[in-house]
A = this chain, B = another copy of it.
Amino acid sequence: MTYQQIVEQIRKKKSYLCVGLDTEMQKIPKFLRNAEYPLYEFNRQIIDTTQAYAVAFKPNIAFYETLGAAGWMSLEMTIRYIRENYPQVFIIADAKRGDIGNTSRMYAAAFLEHLDADAITVAPYMGHDSVAPFLEPASKWVILLALTSNSGSADFQHAELKPGRKLYEEVIVQSLTWADHQKMMYVVGATQAEWIRSIRKIIPQHFLLVPGVGAQGGSLKDVSEAGLNKNCGLLVNSARNIIYADGTERFAQAAGEAAAALQKEMEGYLRSFGIL
């Protein structure tokens, strides 16, 4: 999917919502747990009711891997379901991979070719040659971890480097030589809007994938004011607040309502920033 196609979807749906498919056996409604592929059954219904309000879905790979081969089947079926029914939606494999070149190449094949996601989240610690293989498949995206939303982000990401930059800023600056805004996005946590504002000065054009709104405490309003650019430039993720909005047979309908409420709020910001 191209940068322009993503922007078109955002304008069409008046939304920059990404629905996080952090699907967990213990949290899905009880009546679904006896299905052959319970995570897939849950996802399929969530996707149907939320896709009108969301431009992206982001399965969190850990939640599938924890069920082994059966979990992988649910993941494969989920991505295939989105591809076949909603081909315009952007699919992010939230995998946070990164290894030496020949190993990253295997992960790239797993997520961007076999699973056919549009994007994969990648950890930067091992440097350029650990990220490069993910940049090779055409029309696919790397979403590089820059500043995450967890408390441990303070441990190393905020470390001050001798040139006077923080590590997360160094990651962004160096990686600008690896690919441009048509091939790379950045994970930037929602917990401090001022950091989003300072990152926007380094990368005005790039899309930022912003987790941490809602359950983790970030405010959609603050994030939007700090991060929106003329093409929107944001994908804001919400998982638990949408997919677990209701634990009964109404779960999918309630998820759709929660997604619609976020879309409505986003539409307001898109209008006040002149993007719509």
Contacts and interface: CB of A to CB of B under 8 A. Distances in A.
Interface stretch (A5-13, A125-133, A201-209, A227-235): A125-133
Contact of A76 (B68, B171, B211): B68
Interface string A151-166: 1111111011110000
A190 interface: no
Contacts of A106: 24, 60, 62-63, 65-66
A157 B127 contact: yes
Interface stretch (A97-105, A258-266, A267-275): A97-105
Interface in A59-90: 60, 62-63, 65-70, 72-73, 76
A209 B139 CA distance: 37
B66 A76 contact: no
A174 interface: yes
A126 B107 contact: no
A111 B97 CA distance: 15
Interface stretch (A28-36, A41-49, A142-150, A218-226): A142-150
A96 interface: yes
Interface residues on A, range: 35 or more
A127 B154 CA distance: 7
A131 B130 CA distance: 20
Given A152-B130, A161-B159, A167-B156, A66 B107 contact: yes
Contacts of A156: 124-125, 127, 167, 170-171, 174
A127 B114 contact: no
A267 to B, nearest CB: 28
A1 interface: no
A245 interface: no
A37 B162 CA distance: 51
9 contacts: A62-B97, A62-B103, A62-B104, A65-B106, A68-B76, A69-B70, A123-B123, A126-B152, A155-B174
